[in-house]
Structure 1
Amino acid sequence: MGHENITEFILLGLFSDEDERIACFVVFSFCYIAILSGNLLILLTISGSRLREQPMYFFLSYLSFMDVCFTSTVAPKLITDLLAQQKTISYNSCMAQMFYAHFFGATEIFILVAMAYDRYAAICRPLHYMVIMSRQVCYVLLMASILGAFLHSILQVLIIIELPFCGPNQIDHYFCDVFPLLKLACMDTSLLVIVIISTTGVLSILTFVALVISYIIILSTLRTHSSQSCRKALSTCGSHITVVFMFFLPLIFTYVPMADSVSNDKVFALFYTMIAPMFNPLIYTLRNTDMKNAMKKIWCQNTQLEEK
């Protein structure tokens, strides 16, 4: 195959206008700092409190970790490229970025499914909850998420690695992703577009539908509960549903039969690479009494210790 002709790609990025790029540099730098600090705050709070013993927070800590990893595969390059004259990325770095973006993103999707399963078990099967969601089950679900994501990502890379790239080498995106790369291949890739839509696209739609159905079941079960437990369950489910919608809708728009609309894909991709990971910590902490109490406990203890 002739992909050795091209050793690097040029990322066209989001904007060509100088002023827009500087404004975006400031905004995205702020977003990235917010993502890192917000998710690290969640990780520290869960690991430093009794919450880590609960399956929901076990998954939430891994979701936060994946958010940090996922955004870090895309954001630093996006931010530095906004000020760079030449936005190049080597062939190998491009393949690596695509692999890790898909790997961390898919792991997040599977963890969101595990969290929905946990809420289902807690609300619909409360008497068997400790058995259904034992620590062993949590680890099995986590390992299955990681393995599933790895298989998904390696498939994407294997598809692209086999393609000949003989020029042009300009990627109409701000990171290396499958569709923009397929456009640059020196062969007919229409069959591969169908393969990717039917794997990634269908995977994201099925997962989204499964999550929505599970939350409908959970919410209909809640009607029989007392108003206090109902309120608490609604607030945790509400935050899960918000995250699911913010993450999945742009993803579905990106990977479902509109493969020609790459310029829109860049805007949609911003949602799941930058905006959703930034709001996740806010959604999970502001709407969650347990998290707020745990934070108060940990950080107030620390300040009291310092005062002593």
Structure 2
Amino acid sequence: MTAGASILALAGCGSDGSGTDTPLGEQQLVYVNYGGEMTAAADKAWLQPFSKETGVSITQDAPVELAKIKAQADAGQVTWDVVTLDPAAGSGACGTLFEKRDPDIDMSAYDPDLVTDDCMLPLYPQAVNLVYNKKIYGDNPPTKITDFMDTQRFPGKRIAFNLASTTLPALLLATGVPADEMYPLDFSRAAKAIDDLGSDFALHADLAAEVEKLTSGDFAMCLCFLGRVEQAVRSTDDIGIVWDGTVRIWTGLYAVKGSRSPQAQQELFRWFSDPERYAPFYDLMAYDTPFADPGVPLPDKFAPYLASAHQDEINESVVYDVKWMRENYDQVLLEWTEMTAG
């Protein structure tokens, strides 16, 4: 049975979470992601078509916060139904905060390396790379990830996203840690790198603002999410990407426990797990595919920002170690807070 047939066949009734059957077409979902252009892209590519076919009403909220999900669960008042999360954070709460996937959801199309727990579906893989302002460096641009640490040859302020799970491995890669020796993370080495950069290094909590600071020239280099870089270069050609080293990451889709529309949650998961239904997203955002075979060519216009299109140029590629991060999540956050507090 195809995903579409499954949805139509199950459109009769469901549970509202209180034991009362509710037709699927009368159920409602709140879908939560990181905001920005992702909200509009998800709505156009996935949520509107799903709602049109099933009758399920979907609204969106942003940004997603694990602490808020916990607070809703503790209060017994879950208002977020489907959320996108760092898979290390999500997998640590699989079965407690998040529902396990229905066993009949077909996962065979996915890249198996991205399926990291029994609750999630992988979404929009992307990369974190060294990105720089071309105007600042002119004919002497950085060419290696380790140039991020060389403030003598490449002066200027550096910026990164204030997220330990992605910035730590990117920063360690910049210090020369080989990709195959990245985990366990070397906290002392990372702390020293931050100290060595001193006032030339800053963290930012807003991805869009981070890239804006790079394009404006306030910062010369960035350890940036390339999906966000693509959005910035629509208005400027002053941004360069160094492909020498990259950190490859992805996001997990999770169904929150306690939803009043659990059947609609799982039907939305079936929608996402179909490569054909997922595909319209590729035309809207510069992200790679979570599937072993996307079924369609990824748009040429986004190739400059996709790691899959630059394999010959990448010397060191770190794949996010979800298992290690999940097992050491609290320590990572503690160490990150301490090394960035100053």
TM-score (norm 2): 0.24
Normalized per residue, which structure has more strand?
2
Normalized per residue, which structure has more helix?
1
TM-score (norm 1): 0.26
